[in-house]
Structure 1
C-alpha cells in the first residue's frame, strides 16, 4: 500500500466518524483549483444518490468511488506541494448542472460519473480519464435468464426518463418494452419486485447497486454483433475552463493513483468485481477524435 493510499484510508475513516462539510448552495472562489487547495478550503462536486460512486450517508459522511478519487486527488496535490490537506466541502452536482456549477465557480472540481465528451470540453477542462466503462444491464441474480442484449427481445427494460441508453437498446431490438422512472433507484426497486426484467445505464452505476444488495443482482455486459462494447464512456474530473495548471496536477495525481494500486482498492471497496470497468490513461483525450 502506497503512502498516498494510507493517507486516503485514514482521511476517509476520519470523515466517516466525524462527518464532512456538505453544501446545499455554497460557493467557491474563482482563484483556481490549486490556489484553493493551498488556502485549505476546497469545494468538490459529486453525486449524493449513487451507491458505490457518490452517496451521502445517513450520518452525512460521503462514500463511493468518485468520492475516494476526489479525496485522493486533492490530498496528492496538497502533499506534492508541501501544503496541509484542505478541508473539503461537498456539493451535490446533478448531471444537468455540472458545467454550470463549474462555470459559476461554485465548485473547484467535479467527480460525478462525469463522461468526457467534445461538447462538455468546450466549456470546462477535464482531468483524466481515470476509467473506461460501457453500457450494461442489471438483472436479478437467480431469476433471470438474460445474459446478452438479444435476450431482452420482448422483455421490459427500465432506465431513467429520457434515457439515451434505453433508447439505444430499443433501436436495436424494437420488441423491447421501455419502462421509464425519474430515478435509477426506482428502476432498481422495480427490478427487485420483478416488475421489470432489466435496467440499463453505465456499468459503474449498475455495479454500485449490485454491490449494495449482494446476491440479489448481477451485471450483464452488452456487446454489439461485432463483439465491441455497446458504448464507451470515459470518466474524468471537471474543472474550470483553461485551468491548465489544475488539469496537469489532477492528471499527475490520477497517474499515481492508478500506478500505486489505490484505484484497484477503491474499485474493490465500492463496486465489488467492477465488471465492465477498466483503467484509462489520464491526459489522453484522443478518443474524442475518433
Structure 2
C-alpha cells in the first residue's frame, strides 16, 4: 500500500510538471518567437498606403517596413501574424505582449516614451492638407481661414489648425477619412487635414488618381517609430534593420511604391534617434 501511495503521488507530480511545461511552451519571448515559428506585429488595418487589410492580404509602407524588419530578425512573410493596432490600443498591446513590435503611423512623443520604447524614426511625416487638384487658393495655413476644413471625429489635427494656424477655418468633422474624401471630391469641403503620409496613401488609391494633391504646408513634424515593450532588446535589433533597409535601397523603393501615385514629396530617410521637434 505504501508503494502504491508513493507511485500515485509521483504520477501527480509528473502530470503537474508536464502541464506547466505545456503552458510555458506557448509563451513568446522578447525576440518575438513562439518556438521560433511566429512573430506578432501590430499595424493599422484601415490606412491605404500605410497599413491596410484587403482580400488579397496586407499592404502599405508600414507593412513593407515591418516585413523587412521581421526578415532581418529571422522571420519570413509566412511567419508573421498581423494584428490590428488601433491608436488607442498600441501601448496596452505592447505592455501585455500581444505583439512584439508595432509599425502603425506611431509618432514618437515624450508621453508615449514613458510607456514604451521606440526604434527609429523610420519616416518623418508632417501635418498637411489634401486639396482638389484644381485648388489654387490654399498655399499657406492662413489661407484655410474661411475654408471648410475636414478631419475625422476625435482627431487633433484639425483642432491644431483651428487653435494655432487658422482660427477662422470652418471645421467639419466626419466619421472617417473616406467620408472626408467624398466631401472633398464633391466640393462639400475645401481641405482635409492629417499627416501627409496618410493623405498620400488615400490619394494614391486608383479611384482617386489625379483628383487630389497635397498642399505641402508641413504644419507639424511627426516622427514615426516602431514601438516595442519598455526595456526590450528588440529596439537595437530593429534599429540595425532600419539602417540596412535605407542603405540597400529598400526604404526608398517602399516609399515610391506606396506613395508615388500621390506625388508625395517625402523627407529623406531620417537617421536613427534623430527626432525632429
Instruction: Look up the match of 2:269.
Output: 279
Q: Is this contact kept in 2: 1:203–1:277, CA < 8 A?
A: no
- CA distance in 2 between counterparts of 1:161 and 1:29 reads 38
| Matched ranges for 1:130-279 at <5 A | 130-143=122-135, 145-171=137-163, 172-212=165-205, 213-222=208-217, 229-243=218-232, 245-272=233-260, 273-279=263-269
Cα displacement (A) at 1:183: 1.7
Scaled by the length of structure 2, what TM-score is found?
0.84
In structure 2, distance between residues paired with 1:144 and 1:250: 42
Deviations, residues 59-112 of structure 1 (Å, cap 9, x unaligned): 3x000000000000010121xxxx766601110111111001111111111100
1:180-202 CA deviation, whole Å, 9 max, x = no partner? 11221211121112110000000
Change (3 A) 1:84 1:230: closer
**Partner of 1:54 in structure 2?**
51
TM-superposed deviation, 1:29: 3.9
Tell me the residue number matched to 1:112.
Answer: 104
Q: Which sections of structure 2, spanning at least 5 residues, go unmatched?
A: 1-25
Gap change, CA 1:285 and 1:242, over 3 Å in 2: farther
Alignment partner of 1:63 is 2:59: yes
CA RMSD after TM alignment? 1.9
Does the CA-based 8 Å contact 1:38-1:84 persist in structure 2?
no
Contact 2:121 2:275 in 1 (8 A): no
Residues 267 and 115 of structure 1, relative CA distance in 2, 3 Å threshold:
same
Task: State the 1:142 CA deviation.
Answer: 2.1
Alpha-carbon shift at residue 113 of structure 1 (Å): 0.3
Could you say if the C-alpha distance between residues 37 and 265 of structure 1 is closer, same or farther in structure 2, counting changes exceeding 3 Å? Answer: farther
**Whole-angstrom distance in 2 between the partners of 1:276 and 1:137:** 14
TM-score between the two structures when normalised by the length of structure 1: 0.80
- How many residue pairs were aligned? 247
1:153 deviates by: 1.5
Separation in 2, partners of 1:109, 1:178: 35
Provide the rounded CA distance (Å) in 2 between the counterparts of 1:183 and 1:140.
18
State how far apart, in whole Å, the 1-side matches of 2:54 and 2:76 are: 26
Superposition deviation, residue 276 in structure 1: 4.5
What residue ranges of structure 1 are gaps of 5+ in the alignment?
1-27, 223-228
Residues 128, 196 of structure 2: 8 Å contact kept = yes
